[in-house]
Structure 1
Amino acid sequence: MGTLRILSGMRPTGKLHLGHYTGALENWVHQQNLLAEDGSRVYETCFLIADYHILTTSLETADAYQHTIDMLMDWLAAGVDPEKSPVFRQSQVKEHAELFLLFAMLITSSRLERNPTLKEQVRDLNMDSLTYGHLGYPVLQAADILLYKGNIVPVGEDQIPHVEITREIARKFNFHYPHPETGNVFPEPEPKITKFSRLVGLDGKAKMSKSLGNTILLSDTPEEVLKKVRNAVTDTLKVRRNDPGRPEVCTVFSYHKRFTAQGELDSIETGCRSGALGCVDCKKLCAAAISAELEPLLEKRRYYEDRIELVRNILLEGEIKARTIASQTMQEVRTAMKLG
């Protein structure tokens, strides 16, 4: 195993879409399988199902378990290997809550209120009030990361402020509570920006989001993908087939850039700009390219759908591994703080 540990996770919101795939899952699988010259893994990887974090914006938890299973099947289909990367629910490792409580003593409310990501969430969700738990979201996230001594945190640019809060908390804890034998209990994790952090939604107005209904799911069949891509927004000035298009403003072409091979991509761009390629045909080519990449994921997902008990066992085994790491970390924390 490598000397650097990566901790990343998602809220359990059910089936995942292409934005999750290009913005996180691809990167996770790459890091999980990355090898050094001597054949050893560069990173240890742990993947968290952040079910406590649901509560920061909604009190509804009735579907959390089914959403967890649906999301986990997409993780496994995309290539997350539970033998290499423990997968586990936050709520089933109680040390998350314990470390969150201790970290809450190390940061002021004014510092959390200055968090730009929080301000954006309040604006985007039209929130007229803020719970203590939502204000403290970055502190719980710090506990998630540092409980497993994460060195690297794969994030989108909007999450960098959260990682900086994690670094501040780690520094403050290490300063006030040096471990008598090892010195610093926690590393200061570094953010690692994902290469494709966002895909614009089918409506062309925002990133993909199931709440906006502008997504293509990883579990969509080729027929469903084609139906959705047909409704995607294109260049508003390209009204007729022979009209010259502007690929740089077209939602469909932004998908082509990710899912279509370079040689064919150049041909599509040329055809669009000249007017030789109409939007209907362009969308068919795009849907086919997306479905070609999703085909192995669909096949693997069907395997797990037929073996739900296996999926549950993968989750339970991952939680055993996570609790072992978390217990060791909390023992160091209590020793450093002279608690208990």
Structure 2
Amino acid sequence: MAIQRILSGMRPTGKLHLGHFTGALENWVEQQNLMREDGSRVYETCFLIADYHSLTTSLDTGDLYANSLDMLIDWLSAGVDPEKSPVFRQSRIKEHAELFLLFSMLVTASRLERNPTLKEQVRDLNLESLVYGHLGYPVLQAADILLYKGTVVPVGEDQIPHVEITREIARKFNNHYPHPLNGVVFMEPEPKITKFSRLVGLDGKSKMSKSLGNTILLSDGSEEVFKKVRNAVTDTEKIRKNDPGRPEVCTVFSYHGKFTPQMQRDIIEMDCRSGSLGCVDCKKICAANISHALLPLVEKRRYYEAHIDLVTEILYEGERKAQAIARNTMEEVREAMRLG
């Protein structure tokens, strides 16, 4: 069976938090290491530092490189293996911009305006006006995926409209520009519905976001983790220690669901409901379990921070590998389009 290729990426926002880990990085590492019975990999994986995409909502580039390195260190600490998965900056592979331009000729503005994901982003970010680059976000995303001949796109159900735009662009390109030798330049990638474990923010009201100050960073030590968990929102009706609690509405218990072993979690739930476990002690247990889970990442981060030259070498090597793939794809595109 032929190996399939996945391209995944993140905007470079600096150090990552638990939401990034449970919502993406865990899946990345799993996909990277998934093996068949014959010992072959199920997927080739490529991981993109999406610095072009970051410009759609902020024009500030002063910290972009530093944030990219910080994010890459968290990727490596979480288990991304650069020997298996090239890691690279979008802006260093100029073919992204070239293919984005060509794909922009194949999709109408009205089609992009109907994208429900775009409408949600405008609402969530409280954008008063929409720049052309943000409207064309799915087109650049299509260029990202197809430039590396991605065949599978792991997404949540809310991201399926983006994948459909990618499929439409691939189909339209192939219809207009059949390759003289290969026939079809781009395979239409298939969406792979993936369950992403979402962690609510410490405030209990939204997802984790550094801009909202409700996160636990992957780089946080045990003292910092406890300080943050201590201030997390719990059941508003459990005011005193002996009050019976409702774990199903408690932010801290949702973290137990991810980081606390099942047997211990069952006891915590029972003691919370009976009122024999107070929130302070519950938070101490939760913080300790989170810190235990993060300890290997924190130790690896310290290593990479002390060997930053290794991090930049990993990045440059990943960009060299990505450049070779992108160059080959664009040669096919130019041949099919009869462009110089």
TM range (shorter): over 0.9
Task: Quote the Cα distance in structure 1 between the aligned partners of 2:211 and 2:226.
Answer: 21
Residue 296 of structure 1 corresponds to 296
Shift of 1:339: 1.3
Q: What SS does the aligned partner of 1:56 have? A: coil
Q: What SS does the aligned partner of 2:55 have? A: helix
Q: Which runs of 5+ in 1 are unaligned?
A: none
TM-score using structure 1 length: 0.98
Task: Quote the Cα distance in structure 1 between the aligned partners of 2:315 and 2:155.
Answer: 23
Equivalent positions of 1:87-98 (< 5 A) are: 87-98=87-98
Task: Quote the Cα distance in structure 1 between the aligned partners of 2:196 and 2:130.
Answer: 31
Post-superposition Cα deviations, 1:83-113, rounded to whole Å, max 9, x if no partner, equal: 0000000000000000000000000000100
Equivalent positions of 1:1-340 (< 5 A) are: 3-340=3-340
Post-superposition Cα deviations, 1:264-321, rounded to whole Å, max 9, x if no partner, equal: 1111111111111111111111111111110111111111000001101100010000
Task: Quote the Cα distance in structure 1 between the aligned partners of 2:232 and 2:158.
Answer: 26
Task: Quote the Cα distance in structure 1 between the aligned partners of 2:18 and 2:283.
Answer: 16
| Off by >6 Å, runs of 4+ in structure 1 | none
Which has the larger displacement, 175-184 or 263-272?
Answer: 175-184
Given residue 239 of structure 1, which amino acid in structure 2 is its aligned partner? I
Q: What SS does the aligned partner of 1:161 have? A: helix
* Paired residues of 1:2 and 1:40 also in contact (CA < 8 A): no
Q: What SS does the aligned partner of 2:153 have? A: strand
Change (3 A) 1:18 1:194: farther
Q: What SS does the aligned partner of 2:159 have? A: helix
Post-superposition Cα deviations, 1:153-208, rounded to whole Å, max 9, x if no partner, equal: 22233322111111111111111111122222112112233323421000011100
Task: Quote the Cα distance in structure 2 between the aligned partners of 1:320 and 1:126.
Answer: 38
* Paired residues of 1:15 and 1:67 also in contact (CA < 8 A): yes
Identical residues among aligned pairs (%): 80
Task: Quote the Cα distance in structure 2 between the aligned partners of 1:68 and 1:94.
Answer: 17
Task: Quote the Cα distance in structure 1 between the aligned partners of 2:13 and 2:138.
Answer: 19
Task: Quote the Cα distance in structure 2 between the aligned partners of 1:109 and 1:49.
Answer: 26
Task: Quote the Cα distance in structure 1 between the aligned partners of 2:32 and 2:279.
Answer: 38
Q: Which runs of 5+ in 2 are unaligned?
A: none
Given residue 339 of structure 1, which amino acid in structure 2 is its aligned partner? L
Shift of 1:2: 5.8
Shift of 1:127: 1.1
Task: Quote the Cα distance in structure 2 between the aligned partners of 1:290 and 1:2.
Answer: 39
Q: What SS does the aligned partner of 1:5 have? A: strand
* Paired residues of 1:29 and 1:79 also in contact (CA < 8 A): yes
Q: What SS does the aligned partner of 1:191 have? A: strand
State the number of aligned residues: 340
Task: Quote the Cα distance in structure 1 between the aligned partners of 2:49 and 2:133.
Answer: 18
